Amino acid sequence: MNVVILAAGMGKRMRSALPKVLHPLAGKPLLSHVIDTARALSPSTLCVIYGHGGDMVPELLQATDLAFARQEPQLGTGHAVLQALPYLNDDTPTLVLYGDVPLTTAASLRRLLDIASGNKLSVLTVDLDKPDGYGRIVREQGKIVRIVEQKDATETERAICEVNTGILIAPTVKLKQWLTTLSNDNAQREYYLTDIVARAVADGVPVVSAQPDHVWETLGVNSKVQLAELERIHQRNIADALLEQGATLADPARIDVRGALLCGRDVSIDVGCVFEGKVELADNVTIGAHCVIKNALIASGAHIKPFCHIEDAVVGAGSMIGPYARLRPGTELAEDVHIGNFVEVKNSRIAAHSKANHLAYVGDATVGMRVNIGAGTITCNYDGVNKFRTVIEDDAFIGSDSQLVAPVRVGKGATLGAGTTLTTDAPAGKLTVSRARQTTIDGWKRPTKQATSPKK
């Protein structure tokens, strides 16, 4: 089938220079949600109609399976679909979607496809208690005969609660014919796609309808308020799915998933957490409050304490992270590693049972097993131009407030005394100390504040 996605609108009520369809929902553009749903239907043609914002839409959404057609000027939905005609295959039906309606499910669209078989015109409708602003479905003897926009509707027609969502499937050959006959003789002086319903009735083409599983599937975004409302709906849907899978959420209303979150058994997530990209939490993982985790694998039994930031990192089984720890890209922690408060790890591998419990920076390092990294320790990995690597072998003990100036190696079982600045390799099994000798000055007196003369 052909899929056409209308994404040319200006979105004046968004109060933004960014095209409406590029505003993010759950971390990705509204239009990307629609494209992903369309792809789930395996279309033979996927054409995006863009306009407002110039080439921002095709530049951002480059993909080999997408065709783009520009609508300039924007003269209505019928005029928009007209721009896609060169890309449409006559032998398959055409599905029309909207780039600012991000939550429509593939299941509801498949239902619409099923009833469209046999060259019918199939429209997705929904019943609303307050249908203001929507086109009304006008029926005679139960059959759809036309769709009337609110601005053109009579008082009787405005009382109709079944409304048009705009989503429809049409036989492509007929669709092309109908689009060429549209008129803009209406209140908005636009070419309405909905007018093809009357054309279909006149041609004897059956007009049928289906309804989605949920009303929110048909809600569009025209303002930041509506965008925020859909964000909460979407996040609650994700939260409910996680709960059904067995995860424990301290408050389902206070979680944000901006990508894919996979949870094993007995996972617990506290409030205010944000998950971005692809995050996998294995069995018995605990995530404390207000953590931000992006593109990470957290192995079984790991405990992430509150206020941690983890990005492009792997946390081993049974490890304990935080609070207030930061794991940057390239971090790989083995099992039972402890990274404590105000510790930052970047592009480093830390082997099993090692720990850096507070106030440390471990960057571009390879750390062995059972290593203790004391408070205030840093690996000095950058000379202003190049990055260098630090190696700390098994069972080493790094005293507090040490600086390891890379490239440097700490041998197996070595100990660095507190305050050491290490610039050459520390031999295995020995104590290395680098600091000034402590002295006491006899007869020294602390300075006192001298009296000042009063101002004249």
How far apart CA 72 and CA 81 sit, in angstroms, is 12
Greatest CA separation for the chain: 111
33 belongs to the catalytic site: no
How far apart CA 328 and CA 94 sit, in angstroms, is 46
Q: What is the pTM of this model?
A: 0.90
375-405 tens-digit pLDDT: 999 999 998 999 999 999 999 999 999 999 9
**Of 333, 331, 244, 254, nearest in space to 287 by CA:** 254
Give the list of residues 6+ apart from residue 329 with CB closer than 8 angstroms, or none.
311, 312, 313, 346, 347
Query: Cis omega before residue 323 (within 30°)?
Result: yes
50-98 tens-digit pLDDT: 998 878 999 988 888 999 999 998 899 999 999 999 999 999 999 999 9
**Of 392, 301, 379, 305, nearest in space to 344 by CA:** 379
What average pLDDT does the structure give for the chain?
95
335-362 tens-digit pLDDT: 999 999 999 999 999 999 999 999 999 9
Instruction: Look at the block and give the residue holding tokens 């006959």.
Output: 181
Among candidate residues 33, 234, 353, 358, the one labeled active-site is 358
Q: How many helices (H) and strands (E) does the chain have?
A: 8, 35
264-284 tens-digit pLDDT: 999 999 999 999 999 999 999
Q: What is the CA angle 24-25-28, rounded to 5?
A: 60
Cα dihedral across residues 64, 88, 197, 193: positive or negative = positive
Q: Distance between alpha carbon 67 and the CA centroid of its chain, in Å?
A: 24
Helix (H) / strand (E) containing 420: none
How far apart CA 57 and CA 38 sit, in angstroms, is 17
